[in-house]
A and B are shown apart, each in its own frame.
Chain A
């Protein structure tokens, strides 16, 4: 494109463009206000409360209390544990499922995808209530098996979040590469590990992110399905806030932010340049 062309084109209707541009900028204002009010400001407040004491003076009281209280550590460990398990199980279940869904021969018109995503259309609190009854009915009630019930509930709730990004990556799988690999003598196992897995890595990464973080902070599912016997980080923060322990509650929220930041940093290592295009970006 020559530089002349580039300048000439907007000149034709420059008044309109100018007006339109201005207007476009204005369109961002509502969101900017929203961002400031509901994202930046609360974040600042969390940090403010986390590093001050009851009187509002700067203090590391909450931090010291957090690191010296075993119960907070055990809550953190349990949250991490459930987060990792749920992610792994979701990947194990979701990966083959996504592969099947992405296979045009097996899933001709995409009805199966809808079936997998359908539970997400129902509010998850209601769904969890139903899961509780269902588990009780098959003899796996949270009263007897709090860990199993919670894990099942978590996997059930977050499986669609694993399948969708995996599905979108697998739709774009370069099948000619796989064929080339087997033509060149790779056995199916080698094709999978050397070709399919690296190709779908961005999907795996975004699927893990979408499961691990929400599970860590969720509390309705664990509360309902473990019959209150498993306390996650989210419950603990809530308990602190409702008892006017703003500082320790906020510090726990900061800890949570740090953990999420770390996982983001790690997973970004695995992301490729075009990863955003491959992810199920429409979800978040």
Chain B
């Protein structure tokens, strides 16, 4: 979110003065005096939308142009940015500014719902009524149609009650924007690991387990997030790893359905102080003594204190740069979006970074749009979401931001395939110099000459199966191609994310990707998958059931904050106290000494004066 430098603010300034006009395929919206004017006020993280920089599309301007053309409305967009969700909330709470649309994280959506700060998105007929300035051109509720069913189901059932005590579905109040996981980014080639006798394969293997971070063999080589929620999450997963792996085991052996499994790990993950539900799950796993109130948070505090002692340090933003040079740190807790960026830019330093989501599960993050109750034009707030959630637009946005869009659909699938599918450069023309595929005038990829004569159906069949002639040789399948050419490809099916959102492409078939980034490593009869940017962008199917949503702590936030303060302040080293006391004594002694001396000389002077005067 903040890795592409604050170009956004800059470009907005220039756009405001009409100096920048790098829109792609859109003429700058020329406002017409006879049309009504409406202002849409958007509040987003910095640099979190394609804005025309670096050859991207300017989505705000495109939206304004669409509104002008469809609705005959002069739309003005007032766009402001913030640093963190917490700053956004306090700015909004103090009421200095009001907005029509805010982009924030899942837990903050819940917090705002609990404080009656949000209004739900209108759907169906209500939506039609809402669109008073024109329904034509906005018929399709694009998020409904293309928002990833996977993410919707993940948040389905999470309810938050406002002050009236009535619980509402979070899904009705937010529209997903970007999502990802909190995982471990690491450099298996870090020199310290070689010195400690750890092979790269061993490191890759260890990074699928949170416990490695508590292990002395990784001491002083990793950074953790200086963020309460994220650190809490990994400490919880570590402290109760036995329970989590028992549940995983039950799921893998078919004793638990995927839904039940995901429900139960979420219960373990989300019960800080209310231990009844936690105990229910724990007892079913064979726990003999139930945990008591406050015990979980104390356990996590101990775990975090140990973790901090074992770490190189805490970071907010510097971690992804520290690991790239390859000589400061070897591991960094990272959000997947940052990891994709870091893995890419570390290659300049010759550092090969990897990303892993530990097998027992991980925290998922989702940034979403919400409509605050201060909304003045809900119509255009929702129309903007409709616009952003159009797969084609979402793909352009994803291309600029680099995170994973919460929208699925054909265009996003194509975008992901261009980025990661290793079959693409074989079948399509790739311009090494430009670092991009070659496009024709209809905005379609240009096939490689060898396949130019194939009919569309034949070409698609080749893409799907790999059966046919590739580079002059005949193959049965892509697996066959990979094997014969010793490429080490792995087939990855992203059906969990794309199924039921596709129009042109086929569920389960076209969602298959081939990647050369996956490595399979077996140690002690246990096999793990190590991956890189593709793994970070779309986690592999096998770990998807283990992804959890960490809900807002609600009232319990104060306990977590207290715990975090305890962890961060640590215990004062005895040396500090001793030195302070010694210094205080010395300073006091000097002061008293001078004061006494001063008093004595003053007394003497007085005496002398008295003698002189007498």
A residues lining the B interface (CB < 8 Å): 69-72, 74-75, 77-78, 80-81, 84-85, 88, 136, 141-144, 146-147, 223-224, 226-229, 231, 235-236, 239-245
Contact = CB atoms under 8 A, between A and B. Distances in A.
Contact of A69 (B93, B562, B580): B562
Contact of B569 (A74, A143, A146, A242): A74
A227 B315 contact: yes
Contacts of A242: 84, 86-87, 90
B583 interface: yes
B313 A245 contact: no
A108 to B, nearest CB: 36
B294 interface: no
B314 interface: yes
Interface stretch (B140-148, B481-489, B571-579): B571-579
B557 interface: yes
Given A231-B569, A245-B558, A77 B86 contact: no
A223 B570 CA distance: 14
Interface of B: 84, 86-87, 89-90, 93, 220, 223, 226, 228, 308, 311-315, 318, 328-329, 557-558, 561-562, 564-566, 568-573, 576-577, 579-580, 583
A245 B86 CA distance: 11
Contacts of A142: 313
Contact of A77 (B84, B318, B329, B576): B576
Contacts of B558: 245
Contacts of A240: 561
A242 B83 CA distance: 11
A242 B583 CA distance: 35
Contact of B312 (A70, A84, A143, A224): A143
B596 to A, nearest CB: 14
Contacts of B564: 239
Nearest to A228: B314
| Interchain residue pairs A-B with the least CB separation, the first 6 | A227-B313, A228-B314, A143-B312, A242-B86, A71-B569, A74-B572
30 contacts: A71-B566, A71-B568, A72-B565, A72-B569, A74-B569, A77-B580, A81-B580, A85-B579, A141-B328, A143-B313, A226-B313, A227-B223, A227-B313, A227-B314, A228-B226, A228-B313, A228-B568, A231-B570, A236-B565, A236-B568, A239-B561, A239-B568, A242-B87, A242-B90, A243-B228, A243-B557, A243-B561, A244-B90, A245-B558, A245-B561
Contacts of A223: 226
B579 A81 contact: yes
Nearest to B83: A242
B576 A78 contact: yes
A77 B573 CA distance: 10
A229 B567 CA distance: 10
Contact of B580 (A70, A84, A241): A84
B576 A244 contact: no
For A77, A146, A229, the residue with the greatest tally of chain B CB atoms inside 10 Å of its CB is A229
A81 B573 CA distance: 11
Given A80-B580, A81-B579, A244-B86, A71 B565 contact: yes
A48 to B, nearest CB: 14
Nearest to A244: B90
Contact of B583 (A74, A84, A136, A239): A84
Given A78-B572, A88-B583, A229-B308, A143 B90 contact: no
Nearest to A146: B313
A228 B577 contact: no
A80 B587 CA distance: 14
A228 B557 CA distance: 22
Contacts of A236: 565, 568-569
A81 B569 CA distance: 14
A146 B568 CA distance: 13
A92 B99 CA distance: 55
Nearest to B87: A242
B93 A244 contact: yes
A229 B313 contact: yes
Contacts of A231: 568-570
Contacts of A226: 313
Contact of B577 (A77, A143, A239): A77
B312 A227 contact: yes
A205 to B, nearest CB: 12
Given A143-B328, A243-B561, 19 more contacts: A69-B565, A71-B565, A74-B569, A77-B572, A77-B576, A81-B576, A141-B312, A226-B313, A227-B223, A228-B313, A228-B315, A229-B313, A229-B570, A231-B568, A236-B565, A243-B86, A243-B228, A244-B86, A244-B93
Nearest to A227: B313
A31 to B, nearest CB: 24
For B557, B565, B579, the residue with the greatest tally of chain A CB atoms inside 10 Å of its CB is B565
B223 A74 contact: no
A242 B93 CA distance: 12
A236 B568 CA distance: 9
Nearest to B315: A228
A148 to B, nearest CB: 12
Nearest to B316: A228
Nearest to A75: B569
A147 B575 CA distance: 11
A6 to B, nearest CB: 37
Contacts of B566: 70-71
B568 A235 contact: yes
Contacts of B93: 244
For A84, A241, A244, the residue with the greatest tally of chain B CB atoms inside 10 Å of its CB is A244
Nearest to B228: A243
A170 to B, nearest CB: 20
A58 B599 CA distance: 46
A239 B562 CA distance: 10
